[in-house]
Amino acid sequence: MMAVWYILASLLPALMVVCFSMIVRSKYMGLFLSVIVIGVSVYEGFFHSQMIVFLDTLSLIVGYLFVEMYQLDKENQI
């Protein structure tokens, strides 16, 4: 059961950064909103270990780099 937490910690923060960045059209604001959501969760005690916090942090960075590499925060110009 603990493996599910590690998988979610590896995927969901990156997905949040991508989604928020595409919605608000700013990679910095998308990262900021994701950090706030993760920070509130950590503060409220929804994490079971330090490894999950580390995986969340790593996933936030990967999500930011994904948005940066594919320029998902830019408006499509057709």
Q: In the predicted model, is pLDDT for residue 74 greater than 90?
A: no
- Report the distance separating Cα 14 and Cα 67, nearest Å: 9
- Report the distance separating Cα 26 and Cα 40, nearest Å: 21
Q: What is the mean pLDDT of residues 45-63?
A: 92
The domain locations on the chain are 2-68
- Report the distance separating Cα 66 and Cα 31, nearest Å: 11
Its pTM stands at: 0.90
Better pLDDT: 49 or 11: 11
- Report the distance separating Cα 17 and Cα 20, nearest Å: 5
Give me the pLDDT at residue 73, please. 86
